[in-house]
Amino acid sequence: MPSPLADPVKLPCGLVLPNRLSKAAMAELMAKTNHPTNSLTDAYEQWSDGGWGSILTGNIQVDVDHMGSPFDPALHNEYKDAEKNADLVAQWKKYADACQKHGTPAIAQICHPGRQSFRVAGRRGMFAQTLAPSAVPINLGDGYIERFIGCLAWTTPKEMTSQDVERVIGQFVDTARLMADAGFSGIELHGAHGYLIDQFLNEKTNLRTDKYGGTPTKRARFVLEILTQTRKVVPPTFCIGIKLNSADHSSATFEETMTQIALLSEAGIDFMEISGGSYENPAMMGYAKTPSARTAAREAFFLEFSKEVRTRHPGLVLMLTGGFRSRAGAEAAVRDGACDLVGIGRPAAVDPKFPRLLLDESVEDERACLPLNKAPVPWYTRFLPAYLIGAGAESVSSLMLWLRVGLTFWQTYYAAQIQRLAKGLIAFAPPL
């Protein structure tokens, strides 16, 4: 019997994804000049031939002054159009073409880190303030080590003025136009993991009293304006998705989150990816400070939240990302109605052709999987809180970039595997 994972999925914009398996976004740490590089395109050529239904890129930053990591590709200046910025479009087209070389639609994840931009990530300077909806600093915990790391890694954010808000909205729209002109099939707005869009949506980080804060609807205005303005300047068949948090919303704010999801659904989002966590609580790596017993017992990290969204919005195309390692787990999520698309991250960094294994009917369910152990960590991390250690080792754009003494960053495990793929080398899973 054919796997439901092999079913095509048609998005509202008309884009057809050939199957339900999506290579999830992972930062690659290969854009040393903050432009797409040959190494980056070489890595994506590996995934383009992997049998994926869609490929999501790692973070593409909308402002080179405010970066998630020092080695993300980014928009450097205001984007005019394909004619006035022909060289820039050609550079990004090479990236888009590599992703889609074998026909798989590629979706560019665009992002602004807001207050989570590291001191050395971006061209604003080590002591310049980050931007945020409100001047709420990152809080890793009350211990001396956590507070020291927080001060070392980040500055206190500046509350964005109305002019700042308008400028950043324009940067998102410009980046989306550039991605469309370069030939990508769509964009995904990164509204999860504690980045800027998530900061606007969340009442803990958005204390504003103007039109961008104060109620769930007003807190959603920032992302809704990005979505509305982007729709006006990209082709109608260009996909616009969004990644949203689930893990950092309490029962007290659950209905507020559902209100915001309803607004996004009404605005015509093409798909919604459910993920979760932030640097303060890295649930996207399976290291939430207080994971529920039910969630821990399942393969997908955010299954319950996704199923609730599906109940309320049956027509919304949902992607669920986080923790999938097997055909059985992915099929169960689809058959339970939790999602339409299954996002796969870390296994994709180890085996770029993982979908071929999952979709091969001759392979038994027991063998259609890729179990992964926790990534190894340096010896000195024994002195750090456990959830920070794990998140840093697993993540390819994380706090652990800051924890190496010396002139270079510690290469996180899965970033190193992606870089092996770019060189045509075999990637390795962490030893079991």
Whether residue 26 is predicted with pLDDT greater than 80 in this model: the reply is: yes
What pLDDT does residue 27 have? 83
* Rounded (10°) CA dihedral 193, 24, 374, 194: 0
What's the total number of domains in the chain? 1
pTM of the model: 0.89
Give the range of the structural domain holding residue 324, as residue numbers without chain letter: 4-422
DSSP-based three-state secondary structure for 388: helix
What pLDDT does residue 142 have? 81
Contact by Cβ (8 Å): 384, 28? no
| Residue scoring higher pLDDT (129 or 142) | 129
CATH code for the domain of 122: 3.20.20.70
- Rg of the chain over all Cα atoms, to the nearest angstrom: 20
Contact by Cβ (8 Å): 120, 191? no
What pLDDT does residue 422 have? 96
Degrees (nearest 5) of the Cα angle 192, 130, 30?
A: 65
pLDDT class for 432, splitting at 50, 70, 90? low
- CA atoms of 3 and 359, how far apart (whole Å): 7
pLDDT tens, residue by residue, 371-423: 998 877 665 555 555 555 444 445 444 443 443 333 333 358 899 999 999 99
Residue 427 inside a domain? The answer is no
pLDDT class for 190, splitting at 50, 70, 90? very high
Residue 282 inside a domain? The answer is yes
Residue 431 inside a domain? The answer is no
- Give the Å distances, CA to CA, from 28 to 364, 385, 418: 32, 25, 6
pLDDT tens, residue by residue, 195-231: 999 999 999 999 999 999 999 999 999 999 999 999 9
Residue 47 inside a domain? The answer is yes
Whether residue 346 is predicted with pLDDT greater than 70 in this model: the reply is: yes
What pLDDT does residue 145 have? 79
